[in-house]
């Protein structure tokens, strides 16, 4: 079996953070795949909620939905509501996790998925918020998964699409967002948490074979670490086989 790709490494790592008998509001892409993997391996009673109003998705091997609104996303779901109801449930505090990707993320966990460059004359236009702002604002714990590049890990995002800890400290609460906030960021290099007071991102664990200097070299701001940086357990053969079966990739590659 071939080693895990960077995308597989990120997906497996964040899937381990999703506990059984909880509810996760998943974005498309890696967040959705990670949720499906968690259900298959260690959290069979994890309820997966999608923006389109689908609650309790059942995933089919090799046929994961690419959108939160397509009918494949409703396969086996015990409840079909609408987008308004889903966000009302989030506002009421029913969702334990929100999982999102990021085009840019800064030291306080603010996410940009709108524009790169100047607001009036951007160099790149991205998809925008969709439900991401609501997920970041309302879910009880936000988990972020993204590839690790200095252009993504920036001192200050070009646009705050989805709020993290804003400027750190109490600023998120001061702005009226009294629940939730980023709890972890997962990449192919490391896992990060946030300082309980300053709310700054810090390295708490390294992926296998990665050094802290490598992480710093690919981060666009000054990184801090926890007192005792841990080691992320490498993917197991069962995790890789299950993930590849879910995504339709040859499990024996």
Active site residues: 51
Map residue 144 onto helix, strand or coil.
strand
Tokens (6 digits) for 4:
């895990």
For 107, 108, 164, the CA distances from 171, given in Å and listed in that order, are 14, 11, 10
What angle is formed at CA 135 by the lines to CA 10 and CA 163, rounded to 5 degrees?
90
Distance CA 167, CA 141 (A): 18
Distances (CA, A) of 40 to 21, 124, 246, 247: 13, 37, 9, 13
Could you tell me if 49 and 23 are in contact, meaning their C-beta atoms sit under 8 angstroms apart? Answer: yes
Bridge partners of residue 25, in order along the sequence: 49, 98
- Cα 133 to Cα 148: distance, rounded to the nearest angstrom: 22
User: Distance of CA 47 to CAs 72, 98, 155, Å?
Assistant: 16, 12, 35
Q: Round to whole Å and give the CA distance between 180 and 177.
A: 8
Q: Which H or E run includes 217? A: helix 212-217
Within 10 Å of residue 27's Cβ, how many Cβ atoms?
25
Output the six-digit token pair for 114: 């709108």
């Amino acid at each position: 079996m071939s080693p895990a790709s960077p995308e597989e490494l990120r997906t497996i790592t964040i899937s381990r953070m999703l506990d059984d008998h909880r509810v996760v509001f998943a974005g498309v892409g890696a967040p959705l795949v990670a949720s499906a993997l968690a259900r298959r391996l260690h959290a069979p009673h994890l309820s997966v909620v999608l923006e389109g109003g689908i609650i309790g998705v059942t995933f089919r091997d090799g046929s994961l939905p690419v959108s939160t609104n397509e009918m494949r996303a409703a396969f086996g779901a015990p409840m079909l509501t609408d987008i308004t109801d889903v966000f009302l449930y989030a506002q009421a505090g029913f969702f334990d996790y929100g999982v999102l990707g990021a085009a840019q993320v800064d030291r306080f966990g603010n996410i940009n998925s709108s524009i790169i460059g100047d607001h009036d004359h951007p160099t790149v236009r991205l998809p925008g918020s969709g439900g991401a702002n609501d997920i970041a604002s309302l879910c009880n714990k936000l988990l972020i998964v993204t590839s690790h590049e200095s252009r993504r890990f920036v001192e200050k995002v070009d646009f705050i699409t989805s709020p993290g800890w804003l400027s750190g400290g109490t600023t998120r609460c001061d702005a009226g967002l009294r629940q939730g906030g980023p709890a972890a960021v997962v990449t192919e290099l490391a896992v990060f948490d946030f300082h309980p007071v300053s709310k700054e991102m810090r390295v708490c664990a390294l992926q296998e074979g990665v050094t802290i200097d490598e992480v710093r070299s690919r981060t666009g701001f000054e990184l801090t670490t926890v007192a005792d940086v841990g080691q992320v357990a490498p993917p197991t053969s069962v995790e890789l086989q299950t993930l590849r079966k879910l995504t339709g990739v040859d499990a024996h590659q």
